[in-house]
Structure 1
Amino acid sequence: MKASPIRIPTVSNDTDWDFCFHLSQQTRNPAQYTDDLFTICQCRETEGDTKVQKEGMADDCMSLPKQKLAQAQKKFGQLIEEKMNTKANKELIRCFILSRIIFGKEHWRCAQALANLAYGYLTLRGLPSQAKKHAESARSTLLTWKGNKTSDKERQEILGALVILYYTLGTAWLLQNHGKQAYIHLKKAEKSMMELKEINNGSIGENQVSEKDLTIALGRASLAIHRMNLALAYFEKAIGSVIIAKGHGTSELIGLYEEIAQIEQLRKNHEQAIQYLQQAYSICVSSFSEISPQTAEASALLAKAYAMSGESQHRDAVEIYFIRSINAYQILGSEDYESLTTIEEFCTWLIQNGENQEAYRLLMSTLNSGTYGGCGEKVAETFYNMGSICFAKGELRKAIGLLRKCLMVQILVYGSEHIKSKETKSLLTLLQRASSSRRKREAIVGKKKSA
């Protein structure tokens, strides 16, 4: 079972962050911010004011950003519940600006707000580069404050922020395909979480990063550095914790079973992988019904797992689960990349098992149904597969016609200089030469017979 590639969105700039970071780049202390707030609050100082009076006015004016901070934190929670991720992230930016005004840029609470913002960029916006930048900015301040004399309550909050910070860094590195760096930072998050539990009676409190989140991330990082047994142990731990918390039938287990099955396949334990995927499929059916995108995907994964085992007794199961997946997608009217990929994977398996005619029929019916829509690359692959089938059957002329259509679509989708277009063009040239040679031989044989 091949893992799907992770798309990492990036942005060249972030106007919201650029605006707020313009303030953060200025080297000013809280007292200077307070002076600015005097103007905002329309607090005017006369020559007769004493220092005590000024401090009193400062306290009054500082109440404004504190109120705004509380409002922003509350609004953030509401936006998260409403799944308005971009707006929620903007509130985190607001929280950071206000924390900097209230506490100063060297205070751990300002670094805590910046760590939360980094986590927001990762989980709400899907921007690992920005998340990494802000997490790294917060790290030195949090580590410095960790060594200072602080109350138990403050130490708990600092450790909680360190968990968020290192989890964000680790996951961002993982999304950018740097497994070693990801693992190092996630282990630091694990260490901080253990310290937090020690001073908090075995609890991590209301930390945004749960033990399950961290365990899964460590499993993925272990897999990225090819430590299969360690990755397996982390996923087994995550599955166990979910079962204890929510039972054997919770839909949270679906993704975990699918990921641990991939690990077992890499370890060549195909039967164990099939068992995990059977569990995922059963939960999908009970949670979402047999005709659902989730069940269609689980059925396709199960079909591929049976196929990867290479066991002859699993041939019927491969066909059954592929057909279930394709039927579910078709009933749903799905035209997405996954459904088309499933059809092609089934056809590839059919060809490998000598069922060329059935594969050709399925590909042709898919083309005629108009299922492909705007998926030009999938149309090209279908023409290529159909051409390959015809070539295997010795139908050169038909194969050439299909490969021409494939090349035409590839040039439209990728351009004439793309490697796929070039490879198809080379194959097409070889087939045309073979066809020409065959016609010449047939012409010579025909002349001899007529003579």
Structure 2
Amino acid sequence: MRAVSHIVTLCLTFGGSITAVFQDNHTTSHSHQECVSFLASPCPYHRFLCSDNVFENMQESQEVLMPNHLDEVIAAVSVTSKKRIPNKLLQTALFQPPREKLHLCEERAKSYSSSCEYKQAIQELVRCVALTRICYGDSHWKLAEAYVNLAQGYLQLKGLSLQAKQHAEKAKEILANSIENPYHDNTDIFKCSIDLFCTLGKALLSLQKFKEASENLVKAERLSKEMLQCGNIIKEEWVEIQARIKLFFAQLYQGQKRSKEALPYYQKALEYTELTKDERSLECVPVLRELAGVEQALGFHDAAVSHFSRAHLIVLSKNPSPEEAADSAHFIARAAVASGKQDHRDEPGMPLLTIPAPENNPCQYRTLLQWTSMHSVLSSKAGHVTMVRSSFRTWRDMAEQYFQESMTHVKDSEGAGRVKFLSIQDEFCNFLQITGQKERAIMILRESLEAKVGAFGDFSPEVAETYRILGRADLAQGNHIGAHAKLKKVKWEPALI
């Protein structure tokens, strides 16, 4: 049996030619195809590899040819390169214990996730599942934890909710059937259960199964509270768990268009995230933006601008890409436009913004100076700056400033960045028309027409809309020939599509 274990470990480790050492010390060279043939024989390890589908395409037909399926398995759990490596390295990797390989895969998964290499991260998480089963068996809570981590990977890194749900349910089944020593400390199992309920709840939420999602989130919240009361976790751990649970509950209510109920949960999620991650952490940015979106839905536009602005300061302090910086400024511009639709929002002296005082960062100071030119500083204490709207600046100035900043970040970009620039420019032109600056908007649209044709194509909706606006402008100016030529192109566009 030990010889079988060695061969399976080798098959899990190398995708090319390998060398297997048998109990009788006879050394034989095996090709990749021979390993596949060996795995196809009826043995417990073969059943382990084929029993559970831990790969991304889980909705394919079960009537897949066995050799092809085994090729995928071996490719997925291969830890090293398929290229031939030196004999010393081969020998080292050959006898590396599975637990060391498991630790290595876990570290690689974290590294790939942090560097946004999502495909590689998922592959490492798949390997972690295979190696965990080798190390701990079919009924150990560690295997459930590996499935939960894989489910989180599919959910957070790829947005594949159905796959995440199926992996989380597999983890739930393993935990239900796990056999543990009654005198063993179950704290790790309880923590794994909390992660399981949160992950399953989030996956169900993404699938719009709100009732089932709520049930799992309630279980996670109740279990975390009981663990805190029993002393199984410290207060800081509980706060970190609560930050996730409150955010998921907020998203649950917002997904059902229940913004009033979602608002306090978003506020609590932000509070807990700031306690655990620091208020200048990037983890606060998505919470701030979602909170601002709920506030906009409820008509609290000044609060929405405040939270979008806080998120913008954080993003600029972290050396963002041009696209990220453009998106961040774009959020504020949109919020300012929404704020301007309420007439009373232009009243001076209205409290608008409370932000953390910037650290020694030029980007943060520059953004703060832009805000102080638009607002009067009311107070500065406890590391925060509170401002009110000045009478000489309005929502129009704010919106234009952040539209311009957003476009500046991606003005010279190519590809997707160029498309983003033109889309923001269209929105800016629409803003100019709303605020009575039609001539300026028309001039910008005329200049952008050639670039739009290159980016979107002659018969794209974006180009058609530009022709429509320019045609109406020509018609209003009495240029009937020019108007006819442009509007004729708009008429032909749907027919050609």
TM superposition score category, shorter chain reference: 0.5 to 0.7
Q: SS at 2:198's partner residue? A: helix
Residue 411 of structure 2 is aligned to residue 330 of structure 1: yes
> SS where residue 257 of structure 1 aligns?
helix
8 Å CA contact 2:452, 2:462 repeated in 1: no
The residue identity in structure 2 corresponding to 1:320 is Q
1:271 has 2:302 as partner:
yes
* Cα distance, 1:274 vs structure 2: 1.8
How far apart in 2 are the matches of 1:163 and 1:246?
20
Q: 1:142 aligns with which of 152, 175, 178?
A: 175
Distance in 2 separating the partners of 1:204 and 1:411: 64
Correspondence for 2:157: 124
| Cα drift, residue 246 of structure 1 | 4.9
Change (3 A) 1:39 1:342: closer
User: Which residue does 1:445 correspond to in 2?
Assistant: none
Q: Which stretch shifts more, 90-99 or 128-137?
A: 90-99
Alpha-carbon offset, residue 394 of structure 1: 6.8
Report how far residue 265 of structure 1 moved.
0.7
Partner of 1:318: 399
Identity %: 26
Contact 2:3 2:22 in 1 (8 A): no
Equivalent position of 1:74 in the other structure: 104
Q: CA offsets, 1:91-135, max 9 Å, x none?
A: 332332343345443443333322222222223343222111111
| Alignment match, 1:378 | 462
Instruction: Give the TM-score, by structure 1 length.
Output: 0.66
Alignment RMSD: 3.8
Counterpart contact for 1:160–1:204, Cα < 8 Å: no
Q: 1:174 to 1:399 in 2, by over 3 A?
A: farther
Structure number with the bigger relative contact order (C-alpha 8 A, sep ≥ 6) is 1
Of 182, 188, 198, the residue aligned with 1:157 is 188
| d(CA) in 1 for partners of 2:172, 2:483 | 61
CA gap of 1:65–1:315, structure 2 versus 1, over 3 A, is same
* Equivalenced residues, count: 359
- Whether the aligned pair in 2 keeps the contact of 1:262 and 1:273 (CA below 8 Å) is yes
Deviations 1:361-401 (A, max 9, x none): 11122223458624744334433443455566676654443
2:486 corresponds to which residue? Answer: 402
1:267 Cα deviation from its structure 2 partner: 0.6
CA distance in 2, matches of 1:395, 1:341: 27
Match of 1:112 among 141, 145, 149: 145
Q: Cα gap change, 1:227/1:145 in structure 2, threshold over 3 Å: closer, same or farther?
A: farther
Residue 205 (structure 2) aligns with: 174
Q: Pick from 285, 290, 293: which aligns with 1:262? A: 293
Secondary structure of the residue aligned to 1:373 is: helix
The alignment partner of 2:324 has SS state of helix
Contact between 1:379 and 1:409, CA under 8 Å: does it hold in 2? no
Q: Determine which of 17, 22, 25 is the counterpart of 1:42.
A: 22
Contact persistence 1:163–1:193 (CA under 8 A): yes
Cα separation, partners in 2 of 1:175 and 1:405, compared to 1, 3 Å: farther
| 8 Å CA contact 1:89, 1:117 repeated in 2 | yes
Instruction: Name the stretch that deviates more: 86-95 or 173-182.
Output: 173-182
Aligned residue identity for 1:90:
Q
Q: 2:246 corresponds to which letter in structure 1?
A: T
Q: Give SS of 2:234's match.
A: coil
Q: Give 1:201 deviation, angstroms.
A: 4.2
Equivalent position of 1:363 in the other structure: 445
In structure 2, distance between residues paired with 1:38 and 1:346: 65
CA contact (8 A) 2:99 2:135 kept: no
> Aligned partners of 2:131 and 2:461: how far apart in 1?
49
How far residue 223 of structure 1 moved from its aligned partner, in angstroms, is 1.0
Q: Which has the higher strand share?
A: 2
For 1:325, the aligned partner's letter is S
Contact 2:301/2:338 (<8 A) preserved: yes
User: Is the alpha carbon distance of 1:245 and 1:185 closer, same or farther for their aligned partners in structure 2, counting shifts above 3 Å?
Assistant: closer
